[in-house]
Amino acid sequence: MGEVDRAAAAGAITPGAAASYHRVYADARATLRKLSGARRRELGAVLRTTDHLAAGGNLTSSRMPLVFLTVQRNREWWTTGSLLGYGQRVSFRGSSLVWQSYPGQGLQVQWLATFGKANGLMSGGRRTYDDHLRRLLAQTTALASRRAGGLAWESLFAFDGGHPPWVSALGQGTALQAYSRAAVHLSDPKLFDVARRGLGIFRAPPPTGVAVPTKAGTRLLIYSFAPKLLVLNAFTQAVIGLHDYALLAGDDDAQRLYRDAEAELRVSVPAYDTGAWSLYSLAPRESDLGYHTLLRDFLRGLCDRATDDRVRAAKRQATGADPGSPLLGDPSSGGVAPAPAQPGAAGVDPASLPDPAVYCHAADDFTKDLRTPPALALSARTSPRAPRAKHRLRLTYTLSKVSTVTTTVTFRGRRVAGRTARLGRGEEPLRFTPRHAGRYAITIVAVDLAGNRGQTSGRVTVAAARPAPKS
């Protein structure tokens, strides 16, 4: 490939690396000719992505390790591995990276899962997996690309209208968290340097970065290619990542980025609370159960962090001493314990730090939503206002949150209409055509994503059909 040769000629990669990349690509091309069906489709898709990156001038020397590792792993898997469905995750012997199946685009590194795995290896302060953690972070460091004046962990597949290479504030924020926690856990300050270089995309606007200036501060995007897709769980975790790195590394630049992003986050949170459930994005789209719980956990984590920040500041203000400890809790449960002192932290007024209340209250509300049945209300109005037999009848009802809804219409004890469907909050129509005059009983049952059940019922009286006009 020409880009590989040019990079080698410019001294951007070694001759040995260039030879390795050529060999990986040639082997994959040779293997592709021997495959058929889904295996050929998946490996072929990865090779086409590689060709498109090269043709667009995006196969840079810093991306080559990830690009050609992706080619190599896909050749290996689709030659000997099983067929995979969407979202299935796999790993390879001797590697700690998490790979995920995206049908039609092969296997791709799943960065959020990979850095989540790194955080998990430190859960509860465990030392059992320290060597594993070191190897994992060495691998992720080698696969970072130069972007936005720093390092970024890029995705190399098309997704939701975006084309590779793109980045996510969610994955990058989790990377900062993992590297900074590991720097303390392993007593390895070089890991702070890697995290510091990962700040670039939090300064740059899309499509290079994920930072969008607002009146309040800075919004951080789930995807660098989607400036209008406003996903709260991704924004919250990115802010957590900035917070943890800034706190543990004592990095003033990261602290500024955190404060700007947190200022926007706190004014954004209320818009995602419907009063009965959470919104995934401001499209609007309600969260599924997993995203609702994830958002609740992220908000609880930020609540705990902001609370701890104020407690530490109050103790420093009172005593002039740093009460922090380098030991960390489990980030999945929101527990990051006090850390080493930040430069210039002494004397900070606790009241000047972010108020945790908005995050604590939202987390509490979303927890209550998991136990609260959906609310239903059947309107007394019908269309037409004087319903008659053999004419289409329309009623409406309101639903408080996304649920599986079953509507049942009975006449003289027999079911004559109804359906079951998953519906979002709001007003919904209920239509049927009564065949006879009389009273029809209507029952509506809703079961939300957490299994809570709500119900309402009503009746509608239908007049006899108008007699046919005499000829």
Claim to verify: residue 309 and residue 434 sit in the same structural domain? no
Answer whether residue 190 is part of any domain. yes
Nearest to residue 441, comparing CAs of 410, 407, 399?
A: 410
CB 28 within 8 A of CB 72: yes
pLDDT of residue 347: 56
Q: Please identify, among 369, 392, 423, the residue that sits at the C-terminal boundary of a domain.
A: 369
| DSSP track, 369-420 | HTTSPPPEEE-S--BSSS-BTTS-EEEEEEESS-EEEEEEEEETTEEEEEEE
pLDDT of residue 467: 79
Ordered per-residue pLDDT tens for the chain, 471 residues:
789 999 999 999 999 999 999 999 999 999 999 999 999 999 999 999 999 999 999 999 999 999 999 999 999 999 999 999 999 999 999 999 999 999 999 999 999 999 999 999 998 777 889 999 999 999 999 999 999 999 999 999 999 899 999 999 999 999 999 999 999 999 999 999 999 999 999 999 999 999 999 999 999 999 999 999 999 999 999 999 999 999 999 999 999 999 999 999 999 999 999 999 999 999 889 999 999 999 999 999 999 999 999 999 998 888 876 655 433 333 333 333 334 444 334 457 888 899 999 999 999 999 999 999 999 999 999 999 999 999 999 999 999 999 999 999 999 999 999 999 999 999 999 999 999 999 999 999 999 999 999 999 999 999 998 877 765
Classify 307 as helix, strand or coil: helix
Answer whether residue 26 is part of any domain. no
Answer whether residue 1 is part of any domain. no
Claim to verify: residue 456 and residue 359 sit in the same structural domain? no
Q: Please identify, among 309, 338, 369, the residue that sits at the C-terminal boundary of a domain.
A: 369
Claim to verify: residue 331 and residue 271 sit in the same structural domain? yes
Interatomic CA distance for residues 412 and 414, integer angstroms: 6
Claim to verify: residue 361 and residue 381 sit in the same structural domain? no
Interatomic CA distance for residues 13 and 10, integer angstroms: 8
pLDDT of residue 334: 35
Claim to verify: residue 315 and residue 205 sit in the same structural domain? yes
| Domains identified in the chain, total number | 2
Contacts of 281 (CB under 8 A, 6+ apart): 229, 230, 231, 232
Residue 431: CATH number of its domain = 2.60.40.10
Claim to verify: residue 138 and residue 246 sit in the same structural domain? yes
pLDDT of residue 90: 97
Answer whether residue 86 is part of any domain. no
Answer whether residue 288 is part of any domain. yes
Interatomic CA distance for residues 392 and 379, integer angstroms: 17
CB 190 within 8 A of CB 254: no
pLDDT of residue 317: 83
| DSSP track, 21-86 | HHHHHHHHHHHHTT--HHHHHHHHHHHHHHHHHHHTT---TTTHHHHHHHHHHHHHHHHHS----T
Q: What is the pTM of this model?
A: 0.90
Interatomic CA distance for residues 199 and 294, integer angstroms: 24
Claim to verify: residue 234 and residue 292 sit in the same structural domain? yes
Claim to verify: residue 271 and residue 414 sit in the same structural domain? no
Does residue 284 have a cis peptide bond before it, meaning omega lies within 30 degrees of 0? yes
Claim to verify: residue 304 and residue 445 sit in the same structural domain? no
Answer whether residue 74 is part of any domain. no
Claim to verify: residue 227 and residue 175 sit in the same structural domain? yes
Claim to verify: residue 399 and residue 333 sit in the same structural domain? no
Claim to verify: residue 304 and residue 399 sit in the same structural domain? no
Answer whether residue 59 is part of any domain. no
Answer whether residue 387 is part of any domain. yes
Q: Please identify, among 320, 341, 369, the residue that sits at the C-terminal boundary of a domain.
A: 369
Domain that holds residue 132: 110-369
The one-character DSSP state at 218 is E
Contacts of 365 (CB under 8 A, 6+ apart): 273
